[in-house]
Amino acid sequence: MPHKIDDTRELHEDSLGESVLRHLIYSVGKDKAHADARDWNVALSLAVRDRMVEGWIDTTRRIYKNKQKRVYYLSMEFMIGRMLEDNLTNLGLLSEAKTFLKSQNLDVTTVINAEQDAALGNGGLGRLAACFMDSMATTGVAGMGYGIRYQHGIFRQAVEDGWQVEEPEDWLFAGNSWEFRRPEVVYEIGFGGHVTHDEDGKATWHPSESVQAVAFDMPIAGWEGDHVNTLRLWSARQSGMMNLDTFNDGDFMAAARQQVLAETISKVLYPGDHTPQGRELRLKQEVFFTSASLHDLLRRFFANYDNLDTLGDHVAVQLNDTHPAIAVPELIRILMDDHGYDFDHALKITRETLHYTNHTLLPEALEKWPRDLFEQILPRHLQIINMIDGAFYREAIEKGLDHHIIAGIQAIHPHQQDWVRMGNLAFIGSRKVNGVSALHTELMKQTVFHDLHTMYPDKIINQTNGVTPRRWLLECNPGLSDLVTEQIGDGWIDDLEQLKEIEPLATDADFQQRYMAVKAANKQRLADMVKTRTGVILNSDAIFDVQIKRIHEYKRQHMNILETIALYNAIKANPDGDWQPRVKIFAGKAAPSYFFAKLIIKLINDVAKVVNNDPDIGDKLKVVFLPNYNVSMAEILIPGADLSEQISTAGFEASGTGNMKFALNGALTIGTLDGANVEMLEHVDAENIFIFGMNADEVAERQHRRARPSEIIKTSPALQQVMTQIGDGTFSDGDTDRYRDFLSNVTEHDYFQVVPDFQSYWDMQRHLDALYGQSEKWAEKTILNTARMGWFSSDRTIRSYADQIWRAPHKTSGP
Ligand code: 26W
């Protein structure tokens, strides 16, 4: 790693090992004899962090000096996972670190695993933000992430008697080695109160309460470590000091109460995923981090420029879903009330600066807040939203839209006045709006944003998601990485399309054999983890069939478990048949209030208990539910999978990103024509991905008709048998009540169309059974998946955002 900064050049000429030992003694305060794995982890992390700081300061100075356009990624969620291996890798220190740890008789994996996952997110949206941080640094974008430093990330999932139980998560209990507290970077965030206007009409908001937002920074190094960006997370603190009078009066509890109230804002991540969160605290969290971030980026802007007229030329802000959509009225408020701009000018500047990404079309996930709550907490913002709606109305009339249509797409419906609709607000206030896959973007235009799209036909564009090849190939799959690098060199690490060069080897017997040996070793690593965590012993000749993601009806884990039961029945009916052994692996969290999702977890565990203990079945079928799915677990599961389940009801999964990680690591996909599966099909070709079921149009048509599943069930004895067994207690120790809701859901409404897709899903699974038996053919397809997934690098995605949305400079790819 180059030492660039004069004033730190002399600071560490020592080897990595020497600085680890120095940190062990002087930062951790222990000697070798008493250090445990976590102590070593902290010492090593601090030694690595030291080496990131130079590139960090250097990057900051370079961006400032060149006045490089800055990009701010505002996200309620960052699903980062562990950072040590990522940073070692990007800085080129991994092998030196491994050699050193071995020289100290330490197990490398144990030391790396001593770090807690930073799980400050729910799922796909948060993980995408983490991949984007890595890719912005790698592609040299002057990017900064802004979010919340939740004291407690997503809950820990325990499984008791087959049911999900939520336990508190405490990732910070031993500290966070990567962060720098910035006590001097602090903003007052107001809530409530009232607004006054002076004789010139200038408004002043007088909040009735306020909290402080304090910054914590994490350096984010790109590949090869010389561009280092910042992830800045806000922590809430009581405004002013604890009230000493109250304290002296002996009422410590009252004094402490104020502090506790203020700090609740960054206390815990909301674990709802696609569920409406009509909660005051959630709205405050959104305002808290959005307002702090805007103030912070404007302060930085004023270091270079003396007025905000050209803000959009130098700054691009990306809103990750509507969670930071309050940025629209907040930026206008700052421009008007703090800097004296008139409304029209403030709106214009805002619309040159903000951009909005939509991540879901599910109606229940589109954020809206009661107008009354807004009035209470954000009286000035509500006034501004009304002004935005007024200006929008005039624009719409000019463009010839009809009153009814306009009412439907304003932020607040002018006659109903009940909700503030954040999607509409974000759309109206942004320069560009994007979806996250081609199909999703098309459906945005046709459905939720239809009328807004008619009005602004150039605003919606597509940016198909991607994943970082550093974490999701290089680090999680060292065996495959080495094999690939041996063949084509290591240029693929930051130019993933180079993987194409292994395509000719897909039919090479020797390469197939080596590729499949790597897969076998990864399957063994996966099987070891399953054994440790669940006690179930897996047959590694079986197809490892994996579905890992949040538990949700639209993702259809229940279709997978119904197929599993049908397969169990088929094997039992013919135990001596020539069955291709299979292992069904599930993992994922259910939102705590989402009963049906929790029932699906229970059903999976109930089925596992029966199947895994049935002597007729033996090794032919095993079912596993792994508790507490997180990023670190995905890093083991994905490289060890043969088959990736991407079986959402077509039209409902905006993109998916797990689908990309699996295919990159050589799992074949069984999936619907949904989200980015559609583009994966285009890239890997129809013979190498296994698409079944209805497409989005057919699903919509069937939902529209309210077609009932009963007719179909009648014609399918296999499915009928499965339903009967679930109802008669076959999997629930005779309890005929447990799955009553489940059965009525599937047999009566079946909103997510499990029944009509079941047969084609089953057929495709049996086709895959047969294919797996033709091991050369399977290997060829597997290799072609890896070779053709290069386009799905998040480096490609970020360059595309930089060109088409942010108009921000970046390094181009390739040699
Ligand atoms: C209001 C509560 C709430 C919370 C989170 C509503 C919606 C969300 C997210 C939009 C859910 C989410 O994570 N969406 C996922 O985003 C990924 C990244 O773009 C996509 O790959 C997934 O398909 C999409 O479900």
Which tokens go with 8? 């730190």
Q: Which atom of ligand 1 is nearest to the CA of 77?
A: 5
**Residue pLDDT, tens place only, 657-666:** 999 999 999 9
| Residue 18: count of CB within 10 angstroms of its CB | 13
Q: Which atom of ligand 1 is nearest to the CA of 277?
A: 1
pLDDT value for 814: 60
* Predicted local confidence at residue 4, as pLDDT: 47
| CATH architecture for residues 67-82+117-464+799-806 | 3-Layer(aba) Sandwich (3.40)
Residue intervals of the chain classified under CATH 3.40.50.2000 are 67-82+117-464+799-806, 469-792
Which residue owns the Cα nearest ligand 1 atom 13? Answer: 125
Q: How confident is the model at residue 10 (pLDDT cuts 50, 70, 90)?
A: very low
For residue 652, report the distance from its CA to the centre of ligand 1, in Å: 11
Distance CA 228, CA 57 (A): 8
By DSSP bridging, strand 419-421 and strand 368-370 are antiparallel
Mutate to test the pocket of ligand 1, among 73, 77, 122, 125 (most ligand atoms within 8 A of CB): 125
- 124 alpha carbon to ligand 1 midpoint, in Å? 6
* DSSP code per residue over 459-495: TEEE----B-HIIIIIIT-HHHHHHHHHHH-SGGGG-
Q: Atom of ligand 1 at shortest distance to CA of 360?
A: 10
Average pLDDT over residues 51-78: 97
Q: How many A from CA of 787 to the centre of ligand 1?
A: 28
- For 12-24, the pLDDT digits (tens) are 568 999 999 999 9
Binned at pLDDT 50, 70 and 90, residue 132 comes out as very high
Distance (Å, rounded) from C-alpha 230 to C-alpha 220? 6
For the residues 751-758, what does the mean pLDDT come to? 97
List ligand 1's pocket residues with C-beta within 6 A. 122-125, 128, 272-275, 277, 321, 359-360, 365, 367, 436, 465, 653-657, 675
pLDDT over threshold 50, residue 3: no
Residue pair 584/637 in contact by the 8 Å Cβ criterion: no
123 CA from centroid of ligand 1 (Å)? 7
For 96-250, list the strands marked E by DSSP: 118-120, 142-148, 156-160, 163-167, 180-191, 194-197, 203-206, 209-221, 228-238
Q: What percent of the chain has pLDDT over 90?
A: 92
Centre of ligand 1 to C-alpha 678, Å, is 18
Q: Which atom of ligand 1 is nearest to the CA of 653?
A: 23
pLDDT of residue 247: 62
Contact 324, 148 (CB under 8 A): no
Residue 426 has pLDDT above 70, yes or no: yes
| Nearest-angstrom CA–CA distance, 190 and 290 | 12
Average pLDDT over residues 724-749: 97
C-alpha 617 – ligand 1 centre gap (Å): 38
Nearest CA to ligand 1 atom 18: 125
- Give the closest residue to 173 by CA, choosing from 38, 283, 340: 38
pTM above 0.95, yes or no: yes
Averaged over 36-56, what is the pLDDT?
97
CA 342/CA 365 separation, integer angstroms? 34
| Beta-strand relationship, 228-238 and 209-221 | antiparallel
Residue nearest atom 21 of ligand 1, based on CA coordinates: 656
Residue 410: partners with Cβ closer than 8 Å, 6 or more residues away: 389, 392, 393, 424, 428
Mutate-to-test residue for ligand 1 from 154, 359, 464, 797, highest number of ligand atoms within 8 A of CB: 359
Q: Is the pLDDT of residue 435 over 80?
A: yes
Residue 724 tokens, joined: 């009967």
Q: Is the pLDDT of residue 250 over 80?
A: no
Residue 353's Cβ-side half-sphere holds a number of Cα atoms within 13 Å equal to 29
Q: Is the pLDDT of residue 11 over 80?
A: no
What separation in Å is there between the alpha carbon of 663 and the centre of ligand 1?
21
Q: Which of 274, 366, 646 to mutate to test the pocket of ligand 1 (most atoms within 8 A of CB)?
A: 274
Query: What positions carry a catalytic annotation?
Result: 359, 549-550, 555, 657, 661
Q: Is the pLDDT of residue 123 over 70?
A: yes
Atom of ligand 1 nearest to the CA of 127: 18
| Residue 480 structure tokens | 């495959």
What is the pLDDT at residue 272?
Answer: 84
Distance 653 CA to ligand 1 centre (A): 9
ipTM of this complex prediction, to 2 decimal places: 0.97
pLDDT bin (cut points 50, 70, 90) of residue 242 is: low
Chain segment 781-809, per-residue pLDDT in tens:
999 999 999 999 999 999 999 999 999 99
- Nearest CA, atom 10, ligand 1: 359
Residues 75-93 have a mean pLDDT of: 98
Among 128, 360, 752, name the best residue to mutate to test ligand 1's pocket (greatest count of ligand atoms within 8 A of Cβ): 360
- Over range 545-560, report the average pLDDT: 98
Q: Which residues pair with 546 in a beta bridge?
A: 585, 644
Q: Residue 261: what pLDDT?
A: 87
d(C-alpha 180, C-alpha 584), whole Å: 43
Give the pLDDT of residue 277. Answer: 67
Please report the pLDDT score of residue 364 as a whole number.
86
Name the residue of 148, 279, 321 whose CB sits within 8 Å of the most ligand 1 atoms, as the mutation to test its pocket.
321
- Ligand 1, residue 675: give the atom nearest the CA: 23
CATH class of 469-792: alpha beta
Index of the ligand 1 atom closest to the CA of residue 654: 23
Residues ≥6 apart with Cβ < 8 Å to 760 = 692, 693
What does DSSP assign to residue 52?
A: H
Q: How far is the CA of 574 from the centre of ligand 1 (A)?
A: 43
Residue nearest to atom 5 of ligand 1 (CA): 273
The pLDDT tens digits for 683-702 are: 999 999 999 999 999 999 99
Q: What is the dihedral of CA 323, 328, 330, 335, to 10 degrees?
A: 160
Nearest residue by C-alpha to atom 4 in ligand 1: 273
Look at 268-272, 595-599, 604-608 and tell me which has the smallest mean pLDDT.
Answer: 268-272
| Ligand 1 mean position, distance from CA 746 (Å) | 24
Q: Which atom of ligand 1 is nearest to the CA of 321?
A: 10
C-alpha span between 177 and 180 (Å, rounded): 9
**In this structure, what token pair is assigned to residue 723?**
């339903």
The span from the CA of 118 to the CA of 110, in Å, is 17
Q: First CA to last CA across the chain, in angstroms? A: 19
The mean of the pLDDT values for the chain is 95
Condensed to tens digits (0 to 9), the pLDDT of residues 322-342 reads: 999 999 999 999 999 999 999
CA dihedral for 452, 458, 464, 468, sign (positive or negative): negative
Residue 433 has pLDDT above 70, yes or no: yes
User: For the segment 144-177, what is each residue's pLDDT rounded down to a tens digit?
Assistant: 999 999 999 999 999 999 999 999 999 999 999 9
